[in-house]
Structure 1
Amino acid sequence: MKCPHMAHVAIVDGARFVVMRNKGQAFEPKLEKVSNPELEATNFSAGIRHQDDGGQRHGRTDLNELAHGAAAAQWLNEQVLAGKIDDLVVIADPKTLGEMRRHYHKELEQKLVGELAKELANEPADVIEKAIAAH
């Protein structure tokens, strides 16, 4: 995946949110941590469609995790609208990424240069860099 020089990379799962920046080249990313934004997960309506009996019985639906994904998308929306993010790559586990997509602002969608549906929130930067370069 092409990750432009100085692009922001948001790595998200149901509990963590890390923002990094590509200090390397487009096809050879070198990520540097920018921040760990503190989020207030308030959008618990995010998981309404996941309220199936099977998912609840087997613990596959966690409304806190989905609300965290919605909050991460809202934070990214705010940064894009404030002109603080020009190019963005989002990396999140499939369920979180799906929830985040529901909350993307149109402006964020225009700044989005790539998405990776993979669980990498707890991985070191070099593993994330390789995953970006491989896709």
Structure 2
Amino acid sequence: MIKMPKSLWIVVADGAKALFVQNVSDTIDPDLRVMRVDEIDIPNTAKLGTEQPGRRDGPAGAGRSAIEPTDWHRLAKEEFASTIAALLNKWAQAGGITDLVIVAPPQTLGELRAALSPKVTGVVRAEMAKDLTNHTLPDIAKLVMAEMADI
């Protein structure tokens, strides 16, 4: 069985919630503590944007076609992922994170990757494309340890 480093930070996120968890144990059994929780409330789409999609003329009088409507939910989740990445970038630059595991659904994980600095990507020990935001800390520890054992 692999020992989880005492300095290990785990970010468990989705598009609207992020748990920043740290292992505080130096024994074989991890002791995860929630160090910070960030959460946003994303209202339903009708409250985010109610405008009808735009229309444009087709080429050479071929008629008009609708422009795809803006996905306000997706934009809010992308902005939240950027906020999480900015925090991680700041902490890594200050030397506060030396080992990191990122756990997020595939879409959020991709958005985080795109916004992380080279300093953060250098301390990432594992990535898990899963949504564990509603799991217990012992479950998260078990799943992360299993993932780290595979690398």
Query: TM-score, normalising length from structure 1?
Result: 0.76
Deviating beyond 6 angstroms after TM superposition, the runs of 4 or more aligned structure 1 residues are none
Distance in 1 between the 2:96 and 2:21 partners?
Answer: 13
Distance in 1 between the 2:119 and 2:23 partners?
Answer: 21
Name stretches of at least 5 consecutive residues in structure 2 with no aligned partner.
Answer: 41-67
Identity over aligned pairs, percent: 29
Q: What's the counterpart of residue 62 of structure 1?
A: 74
Q: What's the counterpart of residue 84 of structure 2?
A: 72
1:93 is the counterpart of 2:94: no
Distance in 1 between the 2:116 and 2:122 partners?
Answer: 10
Distance in 2 between the 1:28 and 1:11 partners?
Answer: 19
Gap change, CA 1:11 and 1:98, over 3 Å in 2: same
1:117 is the counterpart of 2:129: yes
Q: What's the counterpart of residue 48 of structure 2?
A: none
Conserved in 2, the CA contact under 8 Å of 1:11 and 1:91?
A: yes
Which has the bigger relative contact order, CA under 8 A and spacing at least 6? 1
Corresponding letter in the other structure for 2:120: L
Distance in 2 between the 1:133 and 1:87 partners?
Answer: 13
Q: In angstroms, what is the RMSD of aligned CA positions?
A: 2.8
Name stretches of at least 5 consecutive residues in structure 1 with no aligned partner.
Answer: 40-52
Query: TM-score, normalising length from structure 2?
Result: 0.68
Q: Structure 1 or 2: larger strand share?
A: 2
Aligned length, in residue pairs = 120
Distance in 1 between the 2:16 and 2:87 partners?
Answer: 15
Q: CA deviation at 1:134?
A: 1.9
Which of the two has higher C-alpha Rg?
A: 2
